[in-house]
Structure 1
Amino acid sequence: MISVKNIIKKYGSKEVLKNLSVDFPDGKTTVILGPSGSGKSTLLRSLDLLVRPESGTLSFGDLKLDYAQPVSKKLSFDVRKKTSMVFQNWNLFPNLTVLQNITTAPETVLGKSKEETEAKAKKLLSQVGLAEYADRYPSQLSGGQQQRISICRALAMDPEYILLDEPTSALDPELENQVLLILEDLSKMGQAMIIVTHNMEFARSVADKIVFVEDGDILFDGTPDQFFNHSTTRIKDFLSGITFNDDAK
């Protein structure tokens, strides 16, 4: 389990995370929801140290760190080895083939052999319906295909958790659905994921747990049924606003 306690993050005088505490269970999908600017992405990125809060603690199995104290390179490496981040804009290496994009990190970071990494990469590509694209370059792929490759790249590191920051926000609805189906399959297989998303239907279908963040505070931490069917007035207002915006598109 990943657990953060009493984390505070500031940008200048603005407190983005306000003494926030939350747990992310093993083998489950946790979806982080909330309005724009609420601190969702900051919370997610603090889990693999892309963002460093000013204070608070992170516990990840037998790994523990205090954000207020210097973090050694070894501890940082050990934390990041347990997670893989998937960003909004996939961030593939344009000069590498699809296969190379997936195999480079396991070979250089984990020390795996080329034969092992290529075999796993081809298996992952087959699982996401892109087996024939191994020798192509990112510029030859659609946005949806590139995002599926970035998910393969994350899985190739054998992470305990995959962290996804609005993974479909740059995609049109058809391509978005392709990616969401892959994530839904991963969730069913018990791959632990923590996902920041704007897609409420996806959140409803895939989440084991929902965390609602607003103004740096957690206003809800519970099940999808509680969130969507037995929620507070504030969450009902949020959901009705999302629905209205979606219908207006």
Structure 2
Amino acid sequence: MIRTQAVSRAYGDALVVDNVTLDIPAGGVTSIIGPNGAGKSTLLSMVSRLLDMSAGTVTVDGLDVTRTPSDVLARRLSILRQDNHVSARITVRDLVAFGRYPHSKGRLTAQDRHQIDQAIAYLDLGALANRFLDELSGGQRQRAFVAMVLAQDTDYVLLDEPLNNLDMKHAMGMMKLMRQAASELGKTVVLVLHDINFASWYSDYIVAMKHGKVAAQGAGPEMIRPEVLSEIYEMDIKVHEIGGQLISVYYG
């Protein structure tokens, strides 16, 4: 379980994350949704120790992220940030191999190579494995970065807006892969998403943020309701159902 207790982050006088106490359950897919500026990415960055907290604590399976050695935490938790830039001209395989560094310290073993090959295959990147990143489309590069995170082989996989640069077809494919990673590989997947439909279809648990606070949280059916979503986004949101089954969320 990921637990945040009274976590806050301020930039000057601006409180971006405001006293957030939250339990993210182990296992399955948890999506963090909410309008721009709600604090979603900032919260995820503090959980992964990419950002310091102004106040509060974060634990992952009881390990305090501020006190746990980096190599220990990196074997438990991995993250894909929104902004991924690699200045060196490297291949997809080289990028994915970076995910093994917490295990290999740069000296790849047969097990490391197996994990790299598995991650490349999982993201259907076999035909692109020896291509340079600057030769790929934005969507292909995004898949390569996700493969790098999966190659790290952590229990917890955090993805900050992983659908960036992906068209609808590939976005759906990515969400299916994350669903499979949770179901088949036993990962706990935590995503920041803007698309409510993808969150509703593929998530076991949804956390909604607004103005730096947790506005609502619960299982998908509890969260994907017009009155809940309309309050969070401050606009009229409708939910289309047929026979009691959710079909889509749309803006009316």
Work out whether residues 4 and 59 of structure 1, in 8 Å CA contact, stay in contact via their aligned partners in 2. Answer: yes
Runs of 5+ in structure 2 lacking a partner? 239-248
Quick check: 1:89–1:167 contact (8 Å CA) kept in 2?
no
Match of 1:214 in 2: 210
Contact kept, 8 Å, 2:28 with 2:183, in 1: the verdict is no
**Counterpart for residue 179 of structure 2:** 184
Unaligned runs of 5+ in 1: 66-70
Decide which moves more: 168-177 or 201-210: 168-177
User: Are 1:227 and 2:223 matched, yes or no?
Assistant: yes
- What does residue 73 of structure 2 align with? 79
| Partner residue in 1 for 2:246 | none
Q: Shift of residue 229 of structure 1?
A: 3.0
The 1-side partners of 2:140 and 2:63 are apart by: 35
- Tell me which amino acid in the other structure corresponds to 1:31: S
Task: Return the structure number with greater helix share.
Answer: 1
RMSD, aligned CA: 2.4
- With the length of structure 2 as denominator, give the TM-score of the two structures: 0.84
Counterparts of 1:56-205 in structure 2 under 5 Å? Answer: 56-64=56-64, 71=66, 75-92=69-86, 94-106=88-100, 108-111=101-104, 113-189=108-184, 190-205=186-201
- The CA deviation at 1:138 is 0.8
Q: 1:243 is matched by which residue type in structure 2?
A: Y
Q: Could you tell me how far apart the structure 1 residues matched to 2:166 and 2:127 are?
A: 22
8 Å CA contact 2:156, 2:187 repeated in 1: yes
**Structure 2: distance between partners of 1:236 and 1:225:** 17
Q: Could you tell which deviates more after superposition, 127-136 or 84-93? A: 84-93
1:177 to partner: Cα distance: 3.1
Alignment size in residue pairs: 238
| Structure 1 SS opposite 2:190 | strand
CA distance in 2, matches of 1:240, 1:188: 30
* Percent identity of equivalent pairs: 26
Deviations 1:203-243 (A, max 9, x none): 01111111110011111011110111374351474572983
DSSP 3-state at the match of 1:163: strand
- 1:29 shift after superposition: 1.1
Task: Tell me how far apart the structure 2 counterparts of residues 118 and 239 of structure 1 sit (CA, whole Å).
Answer: 50
Q: Given that residues 29 and 205 in structure 2 are in contact (C-alpha distance below 8 angstroms), is that contact kept between their aligned partners in structure 1? A: yes
**What per-residue deviation string (whole Å, max 9, x for no partner) do you get for residues 28-58 of structure 1?**
2111011100101111111111111111111
Map of 2:237 onto structure 1:
240
Distance 1:99 1:93, change over 3 A: farther
Answer whether contact 1:144 1:178 (CA < 8 A) is retained.
no
What is the match of residue 68 of structure 1? none
TM (normalized to structure 1)? 0.85
